[in-house]
Amino acid sequence: MEIIKRQLINLPHWFIFHNICFLLSLVNNVAMDSTNNSPAKSSTLNQVIVLHKHGELSHSSIFPNIGSFENSNEPEGHLTSNGRQKMYQLGEALRSRYNSFLSNNPLEFKAESSDVDVALESGLLVLHGLAKAEGQWIYDNSTNYLPIPIHSSPQEYPCALDSDCDCPFIEQWNKSIDNHPAMKNIKANYKETIKYLVEKTNSTAFQSLTNLTILFKYLEYAKNHGYPLPDYYTREIYLNLSKIDQQFEQLEACSSDILSIRITGFFKQLKAIISENLSDVNETFKINKPKLHLFSSAELLLSSVLCGLGVSESKIIPEGATLVIELHEILGEDFVRLVYWNTDYTIEPTHLVPIYCNKTSDFCGIKEFLSNLDEFILPDWQEKCGLCPNGYRANEIMAIILCVIILTIIITTCAAVVRRRKHREEYDLLE
């Protein structure tokens, strides 16, 4: 016993130290692997791009005969109190994840939002959770609110954040969605459910799938808020409606005949942001570029973007869902990593790996990532949307040509009439 003790004591210090280091490095590696799955030890985060769907929206019934609830303290069309809290928590979660990357300098942030109340409210709350007036940014001791501007009408990238934008093709597509071949399939598969609901509500409005999904969202909202539910809303009906809703959203957001039109604007902007920040871009050019871009979007955009990135799992994208695109530099090369929060921001977000990326890690090579974006960017977006490429100019020219034609017609007819009349007068005179 004595001998062992003595031997232990006699062991050189460096030996123990070395072993502790070795153990620590092991633990460290294991921890790295489980959270980062990082192939390289030295990855530098260079840029964070956040796209989130607005938080919980207050609903009220727009259909007759489906029961209604008093909802006076949650004004319709705005975030609910739960929605506000969640959006603020999202901001805090982003702060804790990127705390070593970001300071509280407002110039490090750039924000854009759909021009819709819930999206703007969401953006404001996320930013408030993310950055506070501290140190040199304090302007009044009674508040730590740090104002960061939110742009709501990006001119350069039309329709980047709004599914509700000036694009006749989308409008037309929306209007005829109930007649889309894929919709007819869904209708055929769930004809029992539809028939049942039409009978129970005494309303043929629910023959339309658009209306059925609105009904479903309304009923789920009522359920989550403890409002009384109609008797017909059984578990089986709930399950069927949620499947209808999921398939409907998948079609609306990702159908191949509309996906590129929906995401061209956002993908163009994404490409521009990423390209500005690549490691081989001139350093002086990069100074004062924002580190975090926040995009607060209305309804469908996030679903469509996930489809375009090839990471959609055909699930319903809930309110508050958030995609983060991280731009990393590893040994002089650029990589993208995609992380996703469903609605629980207290847990680690999941890593999404698109199929076109190297599957051995969570990091996606920048080339593969950008070339996928290119596949969806329509160079002739305006034309595809049914807009005149050069806007009013083309219209003006058309108008001038039309005027000239009409004038010519009028003049020649007048001249002809006058000549004939003259003729007749001469003829009359002769008689």
Sorted by sequence, the CB contacts under 8 Å of residue 295 that are 6+ apart come out as 49, 50, 51, 52, 111, 112, 113, 161, 266
Which member of 53, 97, 262, 291 binds ligand NAG (CB under 6 A)? Answer: 291
Which member of 122, 247, 269, 277 binds ligand NAG (CB under 6 A)? Answer: 277
Rounded distance between C-alpha atoms, residue 271 and residue 150, angstroms: 20
If the CB atoms of residues 144 and 210 are measured against ligand NAG, the closer one turns out to be: 210
For ligand NAG, how many residues bind (rule: CB under 6 A)? 40
CB 106 within 8 A of CB 148: yes
408, 411, 414, 420 alpha-carbon torsion, rounded to 10°: -80
Q: Does 174 bind ligand NAG (CB under 6 A)?
A: yes
Tell which positions 364-393 bind ligand NAG, by CB under 6 A: none
Sorted by sequence, the CB contacts under 8 Å of residue 150 that are 6+ apart come out as 111, 112, 113, 120, 123, 124, 127, 296
Considering only CA atoms, give the Rg of the chain: 31
Q: Does 61 bind ligand NAG (CB under 6 A)?
A: no
Kind of pairing between the strands at 150-151 and 333-341: unpaired
Q: Does 360 bind ligand NAG (CB under 6 A)?
A: yes
Q: Does 328 bind ligand NAG (CB under 6 A)?
A: no
Q: Does 171 bind ligand NAG (CB under 6 A)?
A: yes
Which member of 2, 70, 140, 313 binds ligand NAG (CB under 6 A)? Answer: 140
Neighbours of 376 (CB within 10 A): 20
Q: Does 67 bind ligand NAG (CB under 6 A)?
A: no
If the CB atoms of residues 141 and 346 are measured against ligand NAG, the closer one turns out to be: 141
Which member of 123, 124, 127, 190 binds ligand NAG (CB under 6 A)? Answer: 190
Query: In terms of Cα–Cα distance, which of 185, 191, 177 is closest to 258?
Result: 177
If the CB atoms of residues 89 and 104 are measured against ligand NAG, the closer one turns out to be: 104
Residues within the interface to ligand NAG (CB under 6 A): 39, 46-47, 62-63, 140-141, 163-164, 170-171, 174, 189-190, 192-193, 196, 202, 205, 207-208, 210-211, 236-237, 240, 277-279, 281-282, 284-286, 289, 291, 299, 329, 358, 360
